[in-house]
A and B are shown apart, each in its own frame.
Chain A
Amino acid sequence: MTEVVEEQRDQFGSKLGFIMAAIGSAIGLGNIWRYPYVVYDNGGGAFLLPYFIAIATAGIPILILEYYLGNRYQGSAPVAYRSLSQRWEWLGWWQAAVSFLIGTYYMVIIGWVLAYFYFSFGSQWGSDTEAFFTGEFLGVSDSFWSVGGLQFGVLIPFVIAWAIVYWLLIRGVGRGIQLASMVLIPLMALMMLIIVIRGLTLPGAVEGLNVLFTPDFGALLDPQVWIAAYGQVFFSIGVAFSVMITYASYLPRRSELPNSGFIVALSNSGFEFFAALGVFSVLGFLAVQQNTQVGEVATEGVGLAFIAFPQIINQLPALNSLFGLLFFGALLFAGLTSAVSIFEVGISGVRDKFGFARNRAVSIVCGLAFLVGLIYVTKGGLYYLDTIDHFINNYGLVLSGLFEVILVAWVVRQLRNIQSSLNENSYIPVGYWWILALSIITPIILIGVTAFNIYNEFANPYGGYPASGLLVLGGGATVLAVVLGFIFQSLRWRRSREEVNR
Chain B
Amino acid sequence: MSAGAWIMFLVGAVLLWGGLILSILNYLRYGRSSGSGTTGSR
Contacts and interface: CB of A to CB of B under 8 A. Distances in A.
A169 to B, nearest CB: 22
Interface in B1-23: 1-2, 4-9, 11-13, 15-17, 19-20, 23
Contact of A15 (B11, B26, B31): B31
Interface string A268-297: 011001000000000000000000000000
B32 A15 contact: yes
A259 B5 contact: no
A259 B23 contact: yes
Contacts of A209: 1, 5, 9
Nearest to B17: A270
Contacts of B20: 263, 266-267, 270
Interface residues of A, number: 38
Given A48-B12, A209-B9, A255 B26 contact: no
A424 B41 CA distance: 12
B15 A52 contact: yes
Contacts of B38: 255-256, 425-427
- Determine the main DSSP class of B at the interface with A: helix
A345 interface: no
A251 B37 CA distance: 13
A215 B30 CA distance: 38
Interface residues of B, number: 31
Contacts, number: 107
B4 A254 contact: no
A251 B24 contact: no
Contact of B1 (A210, A254, A427): A210
A137 interface: no
Interface in A69-121: none
A427 B36 contact: no
A477 B41 CA distance: 48
B14 to A, nearest CB: 11
A427 B35 contact: no
Nearest to B26: A259
Among A12, A206, A213, chain B packs the most CB atoms within 10 A around the CB of A213
Contacts of A253: 35-36
A379 B15 CA distance: 45
A263 B12 CA distance: 16
Contact of A273 (B13, B31, B35): B13
Contacts of A214: 2, 4-5, 8
A425 B38 CA distance: 6
A273 B16 CA distance: 8
A426 B34 CA distance: 12
A387 to B, nearest CB: 33
A427 B31 contact: yes
Contacts of B12: 45, 48, 213, 273
A213 B1 contact: yes
A16 B32 contact: yes
Given A46-B8, A259-B26, A263-B24, A206 B15 contact: no
Nearest to B32: A15
Contact of A45 (B9, B23, B42): B9
B17 A48 contact: no
21 contacts: A44-B5, A45-B12, A48-B11, A210-B1, A212-B5, A213-B5, A214-B2, A251-B35, A252-B36, A255-B34, A255-B38, A256-B30, A256-B33, A256-B38, A263-B27, A266-B16, A270-B16, A273-B13, A426-B38, A426-B39, A427-B31
Given A270-B17, A427-B38, 15 more contacts: A15-B33, A52-B15, A209-B1, A209-B5, A214-B5, A254-B35, A255-B35, A255-B36, A259-B27, A263-B23, A266-B19, A270-B20, A425-B36, A425-B39, A427-B26
Interface of B: 1-2, 4-9, 11-13, 15-17, 19-20, 23-24, 26-27, 30-36, 38-39, 41-42
